[in-house]
């Protein structure tokens, strides 16, 4: 998980796919993912179908292929790495190709959904499938302040970088931990302000 993923969000564009209801998109994505995981590898027709379907969706959603490729590459080192480790195993020759195929297709599916659906839509779907409200509130708050806190972390990083000339090994640990602890303290203080603001607006 690196910082680039957070800052390089896809801009909301008004394509056909963007306007579909979130529930439908999530449902179809779930079916595709379950299929990808459960269907035996010998059913090449299923995987071929999924590939064509995903390419069709990607085309309709007007997300640039370069963006999608960058996203997938950023997330797939683990997939490729494990596939490589697996390639040297004596137990499953050829098996790793299937694993890579399955997980790359799932990755593409989720990437497409998350970049064509506003997060509030996903939350609404979660609410309608009876995810407990406390969890939904927490997820919504986290999503709201995620970018704020990350930006704060970025500012602290910049401030520190502009003030320190050299960093020795030991000092590095010290700064890392002080950044993290400061982040926690600021997040807690912000939580108190958020609570006051929520109360002032009639939250119960």
Partner 1 sequence: MHIPDGFLDAKTAGVTAGLSAAGVALALRRVKRDLPPRKIPLLGLAAAFLFAAQMVNFPVAGGTSGHLVGGVLAAALLGPSAAVVVVTTVLIVQCFLFADGGVLALGANIFNMAILNSFGGYAVYRLVCRCLPGERGRLTAMAFAGWCAAVLASIACAGELAWSGTIAWSAGFPAMATVHMLIGIGEGVISALVLLAVRQTRPDLISENGSSAGPARKGEWLGYGLLLVLGIAIFIAPFACPWPDGLDAVAAKFDFEHKAVTVLPAAPAAGYQIPGIHWAVGATAMAGAIGTLVVFGLALLLGKILVRKKTLDA
Among 48, 55, 141, 159, binds partner 1 (CB under 8 A): 141
- Per-residue contact string for residues 159-188; x = within reach of partner 1 by CB under 8 A: ----------x--xxx-xxxxxxxxxx-xx
* Contact with partner 1 (CB under 8 A) among 17, 57, 106, 116: 106
Q: What does the alpha-carbon distance between residue 17 and residue 111 come to, in Å, rounded to a whole number?
A: 13
44, 92, 128, 158: which one contacts partner 1 (CB under 8 A)? 92
Binding test (CB under 8 A) with partner 1, winner from 17, 36, 61, 63 = 36
By the rule CB under 8 A, 37 interacts with partner 1: yes
HSE-up of residue 85 (Cα within 13 Å, Cβ side): 5
Nearest distance, CB of residue 55 and partner 1, angstroms = 17
Footprint (CB under 8 A) of partner 1, residues 57-76: 71, 75
How far is the C-alpha of 53 from the C-alpha of 32, rounded, in Å? 10
DSSP 31-95: HHHHHHHHS-TT-HHHHHHHHHHHHHHHHHHT--HHHHHHHHHHH-HHHHHHHHHHHT-SS-TTH
Q: In the numeric block, which tokens belong to residue 117?
A: 């659906």
From the list 111, 45, 56, the residue with the least C-alpha distance to 79 is: 111
- Residue 2 lies near partner 1 (rule: CB under 8 A): yes
- Contacting range for partner 1; rule: CB under 8 A; set: 13-21, 51-59, 92-100, 158-166: 92-100
202: its two tokens:
């009639």
By CB under 8 A, is residue 44 in contact with partner 1? Answer: no
Please, what is the minimum distance in Å from the beta carbon of residue 160 to partner 1?
12
Applying CB under 8 A, among 142, 155, 159, 171 the residue interacting with partner 1 is 142
**Inter-CA distances, 128 with 45, 108, 124, 144, 197, Å:** 33, 25, 6, 20, 27
**From candidates 12, 62, 143, 155, binder to partner 1 by CB under 8 A:** 143
């Amino acid at each position: 998980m690196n910082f680039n993923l957070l800052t390089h969000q896809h801009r909301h564009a008004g394509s056909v796919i963007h306007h579909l209801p979130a529930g439908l998109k999530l449902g179809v994505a779930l079916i595709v993912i379950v299929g990808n995981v459960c269907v035996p590898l010998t059913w090449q027709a299923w995987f071929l179908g999924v590939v064509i379907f995903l390419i069709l969706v990607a085309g309709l959603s007007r997300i640039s292929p370069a963006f999608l490729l960058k996203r997938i590459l950023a997330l797939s080192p683990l997939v490729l790495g494990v596939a490589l480790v697996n390639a040297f195993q004596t137990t499953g020759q050829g098996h790793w190709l299937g694993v890579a195929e399955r997980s790359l297709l799932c990755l593409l599916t989720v990437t497409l959904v998350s970049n064509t659906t506003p997060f509030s839509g996903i939350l609404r779907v979660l609410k309608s499938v009876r995810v407990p409200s406390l969890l939904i509130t927490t997820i919504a708050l986290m999503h709201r302040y995620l970018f704020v806190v990350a930006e704060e972390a970025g500012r602290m990083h910049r401030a520190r970088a502009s003030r320190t000339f050299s960093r020795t090994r030991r000092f590095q640990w010290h700064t890392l931990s002080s950044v993290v602890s400061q982040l926690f303290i600021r997040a807690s203080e912000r939580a108190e302000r958020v609570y006051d603001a929520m109360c002032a607006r009639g939250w119960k």
